[in-house]
């Protein structure tokens, strides 16, 4: 699979999120502005087989807080609706997480309290981007990337809200007064972002992007028992960028984990973005995630 939406005038799709809904697969992703349009938006594509995708729509900015754009969705199926947790774009330290839901996959209703979350404390600039969510014991855990007060170092945080609270701004509680994961390994450079969550057995796993785009960005893994305290599973990327001349030689980045429960035996897929031209184009692809001795590995 190598998918790119060309509606902007070039092949460009970033930040994938995938769900199975109403009998087919839905993928949401970041779209850049067209020549006559200045705002980023969220593209929508559907598939019958996870390989071949058809562009079916997009989510354009529609509220004042989205005036500079919206992007980087995380997705959840809850109570028969698709819930997207996405970020505002182009506001630097003011960017925050928003929420919208849809009954048909195409038309979304914004949360009236948007933006619903941005972190506080002297450890963060207040920015929140790259949302992903996971439900656990009646709570929805929201993972996000933020930056230090100097806007140099990207790192991760977590908040939670009741699943039955409508995900309104006042229901979210920040769960740490500091990063839950920050760059420490040489390949991570100055950035950890794009958390992607799953649970295997009694352990939670978080795939994440290390290093800023095209530095190269690569994908690592951490684990946790409580969704707040995390430790790395591997010191090296579980999915590195490609070799020179390959389609993803500039990076393999921004992971998203999708567990396909529509199959007789559930399958887990790692969706990610890549390119070989330092970001002039962006394609989306996927790799199967398998488990060996309780730890994730990428299938050949």
Q: How large is the average pLDDT for residues 267-290?
A: 97
Cβ atoms < 10 Å from Cβ of 7: 14
Q: Give domain status of residue 231, yes or no.
A: yes
Beta pairing class for 251-260 and 231-232: unpaired
Give pLDDT tens digits for 46-61: 999 999 999 999 999 9
Report the CATH number that the domain containing residue 170 is assigned in CATH. Answer: 2.115.10.20
Q: Give domain status of residue 4, yes or no.
A: no
Each residue of 139-174: b (16+ CB within 10 Å) or e?
bbbbbbbbbbeeeebbbbbbbbbebeebbebebbeb
pLDDT score for 270: 98
> In which domain, by residue range, is 239 found?
14-298
Q: Give domain status of residue 3, yes or no.
A: no
Give pLDDT tens digits for 123-146: 999 999 999 999 999 999 999 999
Q: Give domain status of residue 168, yes or no.
A: yes
Q: How many structural domains comprise the chain?
A: 1
pLDDT score for 126: 98
Q: Give domain status of residue 285, yes or no.
A: yes
Give pLDDT tens digits for 102-119: 999 999 999 999 999 999
Q: Give domain status of residue 35, yes or no.
A: yes
**130 torsion bin: left (phi>0), alpha (psi -120 to 50), beta (else):** left
Q: Give domain status of residue 39, yes or no.
A: yes
Q: Give domain status of residue 33, yes or no.
A: yes
């Amino acid at each position: 699979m190598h998918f790119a939406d060309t509606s902007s005038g070039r092949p460009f799709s970033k930040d994938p999120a995938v769900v199975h809904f109403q009998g087919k697969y839905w993928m949401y992703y970041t779209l850049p502005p067209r020549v006559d349009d200045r705002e980023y938006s969220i593209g929508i594509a559907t598939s019958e087989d996870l390989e071949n995708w058809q562009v079916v729509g997009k989510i354009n900015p529609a509220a004042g807080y989205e005036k500079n754009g919206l992007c980087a969705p995380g997705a959840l199926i809850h109570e028969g609706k698709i819930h997207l947790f996405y970020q505002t774009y182009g506001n630097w330290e003011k960017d925050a997480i928003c929420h919208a839901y849809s009954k048909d996959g195409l038309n979304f209703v914004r949360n009236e309290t948007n933006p619903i979350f941005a972190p506080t404390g002297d450890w963060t600039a207040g920015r929140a981007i790259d949302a992903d969510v996971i439900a656990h014991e009646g709570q929805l855990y929201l993972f996000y990337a933020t930056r230090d007060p100097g806007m140099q170092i990207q790192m991760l945080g977590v908040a939670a809200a009741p699943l039955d609270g409508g995900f309104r701004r006042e229901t979210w509680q920040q769960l740490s007064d500091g990063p839950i994961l920050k760059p420490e390994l040489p390949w991570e450079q100055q950035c950890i972002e794009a958390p992607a969550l799953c649970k295997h057995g009694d352990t939670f796993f978080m795939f994440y992007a290390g290093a800023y785009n095209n530095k190269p960005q690569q994908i690592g893994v951490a684990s946790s028992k409580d969704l707040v305290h995390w430790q790395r599973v591997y010191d090296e990327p579980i999915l590195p960028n490609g070799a020179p001349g390959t389609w993803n030689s500039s990076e393999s980045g921004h992971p998203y984990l999708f567990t396909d429960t529509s199959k007789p035996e559930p399958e887990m897929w790692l969706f990610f973005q890549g390119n070989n031209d330092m970001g002039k184009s962006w394609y989306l692809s996927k790799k199967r995630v398998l488990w060996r001795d309780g730890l994730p590995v990428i299938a050949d």
